[in-house]
Amino acid sequence: MNTPTDEQAGLTLPLALTPIVFLIVLLASSVYLFGPDSSYGANQIALVLATCVTALVGRRVGISWTACQEGIITGIALGLGPTLILLAVGMLIGTWILSGTVPAMIYYGVQILNPAIFYAASAAICAIVAISIGSSWTVAGTLGIGLMGIAGSFDLSPAITAGAIISGAYFGDKLSPMSDTTNLASAASGVELFDHIRHMLWTTIPSFTIALLIFALLGSSNGSTPEEIELLKQGLATEFNIGLHLLLPLLLMLGLVYKRFPAYPSIVASALAGALFALLFQGDAIAKLAGDSDNLSRGFILAKGIWISLFDGYTSNSGNEFLDSLLSKGGMSSMLNTVWLIMCALGFGGVLERTGILAYLLKLALKGVNSTGSLITTTVFTCIGTNVLAADQFIAVALPGRMFKDEFHRRGLSALNLSRTLEDSATLTSALIPWNTCGAYMSATLGIATFSYAPFTFFNLLCPVIAIFYAYHNIAQKPLEGAIGSTA
């Protein structure tokens, strides 16, 4: 982390706010002019231009372009790991559709799940799996894909479904000792991991309970008719050889993550397992995807079809418009726009940090703190702001965690309150920001614009609110050992 030095001493509030205001104006204009399509290029241009303005501010306080460029490169480097995972998920979606894994999830899912309980059941299923494997991204990229397909089959809201998937995935991620952000929050605050998890129960359990109740109330009994579901099943069975054995790539993926294999090789291995299953069970589907290949032998036709699914995804041409829209997706190429967005956002975050603007604004935020309530509130909004500006949840956890740790200690509050607040705000709101690595990933993987699903991520929205409510009413604010206490 870059900390302000003497060369950034010339920073003033107007200078620090200049790139922030500039970006807000450009993003608002982008959304006004392009609507839901703003993330397909317009937002990227806004972020690039804001990066240039930040560099000019840096120059004004004595920071060279070379130093700013180093900050941009460092910022982008933080996103290379998530970018590799994102591209691998594109491969996985393509081969899992071609192999029949996703179609099998939809085929059996519509028989097990009922539209009336679908949203609540989706959140609960994702929560259970996320606790066991500790990865919201993996849950969204595996179970999430199947659940989105099932929702489409039931003619249910894709935005609410995505909200339920993300709510469940992040609930499980927060409470799993295998989660990256859970470990990071405890480390940044200097608390023991399982103490941190136990302290989070105060906010996570009420928030998720309320979210489940809302999802249950939103359940619909007006989904597709049994006849429509039967037609969908027939269409899937016509296009693919359906069987329970096709779910094995999913079990492989979950097993690898549970055994703590790194995410990227696990996803690539699971994508290749999908390719193998396609070879074994979906030869006709591969040949159809390969297209006009009369001059090729059978072996080369199969290789071409699988290759296409890896880089360009699966394209369904069944003649059934709904089925074709449901299954035509995936491939590394489908993730390139999201990679573009992530790189531009992280570049902006990197130069903000290098110029000292981010640290300057964080320190400024502490000046208005005069109680436990205002401290927690400031921490929450600082984490959200860092998510917006730095575009990465790890920075939004680590940077405020380091900067606010002494203030919590000074006020006689245990660092457990800080670690919990970091998760309640930084971890959970990362998926609600389109250009944040998490928001971009969820949008690309689930196929729903971030601003469309964000209002339905009830768990993610409730946790920060409950954290602030607790702080002002002095509920579950653990005092520092040996301290008398603090006022709300």
pLDDT per residue over 412-445, tens digit each?
999 999 999 999 999 999 999 998 989 999 999 9
Asked if pLDDT for residue 453 goes beyond 90, the answer is: yes
Asked if pLDDT for residue 311 goes beyond 60, the answer is: yes
Q: What is the pLDDT of residues 227-280, one digit of tens each?
A: 778 888 899 999 999 999 999 999 998 888 888 788 889 889 999 999 999 999
Three-class DSSP labels, the chain: CCCCCHHHCCCCHHHHHHHHHHHHHHHHHHHHHHHHHHHHCHHHHHHHHHHHHHHHHHHHCCCCHHHHHHHHHHHHHHCHHHHHHHHHHHHHHHHHHHCCHHHHHHHHHHHHCCCCCHHHHHHHHHHHHHHHHCCHHHHHHCHHHHHHHHHHHHCCCHHHHHHHHHHHHHHHHHHCCCCHHHHHHHHHHCCCHHHHHHHHHHHHHHHHHHHHHHHHHHCCCCCCCHHHHHHHHHHHHHHCCCCHHHHHHHHHHHHHHHCCCCHHHHHHHHHHHHHHHHHHHCHHHHHHHHCCCCCCCHHHHHHHHHHHHHHHCECCCCCCHHHHHHHCECCHHHHHHHHHHHHHHHHHHHHHHHCCHHHHHHHHHHHHCCCHHHHHHHHHHHHHHHHHHHCCHHHHHHHHHHHHHHHHHHCCECHHHHHHHHHHHHHHHHHHCCCCHHHHHHHHHHCCCHHHHHHHCHHHHHHHHHHHHHHHCCCCCCECCCCCCCCC
Q: What is the pLDDT of residues 77-118, one digit of tens each?
A: 878 888 888 899 899 999 999 999 999 999 998 888 888 899
Residue type at position 466: I
| Cβ 342 vs Cβ 391: under 8 Å | yes
What pLDDT is recorded for position 224? Answer: 63
- The CA distances from residue 331 to 59, 314, 334, in Å, are 41, 7, 6
pTM comes to 0.82
Burial label, 381 (beta-carbon count in 10 A; 0-12, 13-18, 19+): middle
Asked if pLDDT for residue 484 goes beyond 70, the answer is: no
**Largest interatomic CA distance in the chain:** 82
**Region 116-139: what's the mean pLDDT?**
91
Higher pLDDT, 372 or 222: 372
- Euclidean distance between CA atoms 384 and 390, whole angstroms: 10
Q: What is the pLDDT of residues 355-392, one digit of tens each?
A: 999 888 888 888 878 899 999 999 999 999 989 988 88
What pLDDT is recorded for position 7? Answer: 44
- Euclidean distance between CA atoms 242 and 139, whole angstroms: 23
Per cent of the chain over pLDDT 70 is: 95
**Region 139-163: what's the mean pLDDT?**
92
What pLDDT is recorded for position 225? Answer: 64
- Euclidean distance between CA atoms 24 and 32, whole angstroms: 12
**Region 344-349: what's the mean pLDDT?**
89
Using alpha carbons only, how large is the chain's radius of gyration in Å? 24
What pLDDT is recorded for position 57? Answer: 95
Please give the backbone phi and psi of residue 46, each rounded to the nearest 5 degrees, phi first. -60, -45
Residue type at position 46: A
Burial label, 65 (beta-carbon count in 10 A; 0-12, 13-18, 19+): exposed
Asked if pLDDT for residue 140 goes beyond 90, the answer is: yes
Q: Which of 232-268 are b and which e, b meaning 16 or more Cβ less than 10 Å from the residue's Cβ?
A: bbebbeebbbbeeebbbbbeebbebbbeeeebbebbb
- Euclidean distance between CA atoms 26 and 48, whole angstroms: 11
Q: What is the pLDDT of residues 155-179, one digit of tens each?
A: 899 999 999 999 999 999 999 988 8
Higher pLDDT, 105 or 488: 105
Dihedral over Cα of 394, 401, 381, 49: its sign: negative
What pLDDT is recorded for position 25? Answer: 92
| Cβ 161 vs Cβ 219: under 8 Å | no
**Region 467-481: what's the mean pLDDT?**
93
What pLDDT is recorded for position 28? Answer: 87
- Euclidean distance between CA atoms 157 and 162, whole angstroms: 9
Burial label, 190 (beta-carbon count in 10 A; 0-12, 13-18, 19+): middle
- Euclidean distance between CA atoms 280 and 99, whole angstroms: 9
Closest by CA to 122, choosing from 218, 243, 256, is 218
What pLDDT is recorded for position 481? Answer: 78
| Cβ 140 vs Cβ 446: under 8 Å | yes
- Euclidean distance between CA atoms 402 and 396, whole angstroms: 10
Tell me the angle at which helices 118-133 and 158-175 cross, rounded to the nearest 10 degrees.
Answer: 30
What pLDDT is recorded for position 223? Answer: 64
Is residue 482 very low, low, confident or very high in pLDDT (cuts 50, 70, 90)?
low
Residues in the chain, overall count: 488
Asked if pLDDT for residue 1 goes beyond 80, the answer is: no
- Euclidean distance between CA atoms 207 and 463, whole angstroms: 6
Q: What is the pLDDT of residues 16-62, one digit of tens each?
A: 999 999 998 998 898 889 877 787 889 899 999 999 999 999 999 99
- Euclidean distance between CA atoms 400 and 380, whole angstroms: 9
| Cβ 229 vs Cβ 110: under 8 Å | yes
Mean of the per-residue pLDDT values for the chain? Answer: 89
Write down the domain spans for the chain. 6-80+341-472, 82-334
Asked if pLDDT for residue 337 goes beyond 70, the answer is: yes
Asked if pLDDT for residue 9 goes beyond 90, the answer is: no
